[in-house]
A and B are shown apart, each in its own frame.
Chain A
Amino acid sequence: MKNLRLALLLAVVAVFYGCTTLNRVNPTDPQAGNYIGMHYLGAIGDFTKLEDFNVMGDAVWCVDSVTNNVYKYSTSGDLIFSFTGGGITAPTGICSDNTFFYVADKDTVYRNIKRFDPAYVSNTAQVQLPNYSSTYNFIKCAASPLYLYAATSTAVYIFDTTANSLTAASPYVFTNISDIKYNPGTNEVVVADSGSNSILIFTPVLTNPPALTYQRQLVFTEGIIGFGIKDSYIYVPTVTGIHQYYYNTGVAVKTFANFGEGSGKISAPGPCGIYGNNVLVGTGTTIKYFGP
Chain B
Amino acid sequence: MGNIFFKISLTVSLILPASLVCAADVDFNLPHTVINAQTRNGGITTNQSVQALAESQTAPGDAGLSKTEQYFRYGEKLFKARDYLNALKYFYAVTKADPKNVKAWKQTAFCYYKLNKHNYAYNAFKTVLKYNSSDKDALEFMDYYKTIIDKNTKAKVIRQPIDSIWRSAVLPGFGQIYNNQIAKGLVVGSAFIVAVGLTLYDVSDEKIKYEKYKKANENQDIAFKQAQDSWTLALVWGIIAGGVYAAGIVDAGLSYNCDEVRSAGILIKDNAVYLAAGYRW
Contact = CB atoms under 8 A, between A and B. Distances in A.
B193 to A, nearest CB: 14
Interface residues of B, number: 27
B210 A22 contact: yes
A7 B217 contact: no
B279 to A, nearest CB: 28
A29 interface: yes
Interface string A1-32: 10110011001001101110010111011111
Contact of B219 (A3, A7, A25, A262): A262
B228 to A, nearest CB: 6
B70 to A, nearest CB: 67
Contacts of A28: 216-218, 220
B213 interface: yes
A31 B220 CA distance: 9
Contacts of B173: none
A40 B216 CA distance: 10
A1 B216 contact: no
A262 B222 CA distance: 13
Contacts of B220: 24, 26, 28-32, 39
A126 interface: no
B245 A260 contact: no
A4 B165 contact: yes
Interface string B223-252: 010011001001100100010010000000
Contact of A261 (B199, B215, B238): B215
Contacts of B7: none
Interface residues of A, number: 30
A14 B206 CA distance: 15
Nearest to B239: A15
Interface string B89-119: 0000000000000000000000000000000
A18 B170 contact: no
B169 interface: yes
B166 interface: yes
Contacts of B245: 11
A3 B216 contact: no
What is the predominant secondary structure among interface residues of chain B facing chain A? Answer: helix
B235 A24 contact: no
B203 interface: yes
A259 B213 CA distance: 12
A260 B223 CA distance: 13
A269 interface: no
B77 interface: no
A273 to B, nearest CB: 20
Nearest to A24: B224
Contacts of B214: 25-26, 260
Given A22-B231, A26-B213, A40-B218, A4 B170 contact: yes
Nearest to A264: B217
Contact of B228 (A22, A25, A39, A260): A22
Nearest to B206: A22
A29 B219 CA distance: 9
Contacts of B169: 3-4, 7-8
A4 B162 CA distance: 10
Contacts of B166: 1, 3-4
A8 B170 CA distance: 9
Which interface residue of B203, B213, B227, B234 has the most chain A CB atoms within 10 A?
B213
Contact of A262 (B165, B203, B217, B235): B217
A279 to B, nearest CB: 14
Contacts of A11: 242, 245
A8 B210 CA distance: 28
A40 B224 CA distance: 16
A265 interface: yes
B238 A14 contact: yes
Contacts of B199: 18
A14 B210 CA distance: 18
What are the 7 tightest A-B residue pairs by CB atom distance, in nearest-first order? A264-B217, A260-B217, A29-B220, A262-B218, A4-B169, A264-B218, A260-B215
Given A19-B235, A29-B224, A261-B217, 15 more contacts: A11-B245, A15-B242, A18-B203, A18-B235, A22-B227, A25-B214, A26-B215, A26-B216, A28-B218, A31-B224, A40-B218, A257-B217, A260-B216, A260-B217, A264-B217
Interface of B: 162, 165-166, 169-170, 199, 203, 206, 210, 213-221, 224, 227-228, 231, 234-235, 238, 242, 245
20 contacts: A3-B166, A7-B170, A8-B169, A11-B242, A11-B245, A14-B238, A22-B210, A22-B227, A22-B231, A24-B220, A28-B220, A39-B217, A39-B220, A259-B217, A260-B216, A260-B217, A262-B217, A264-B216, A264-B217, A264-B218
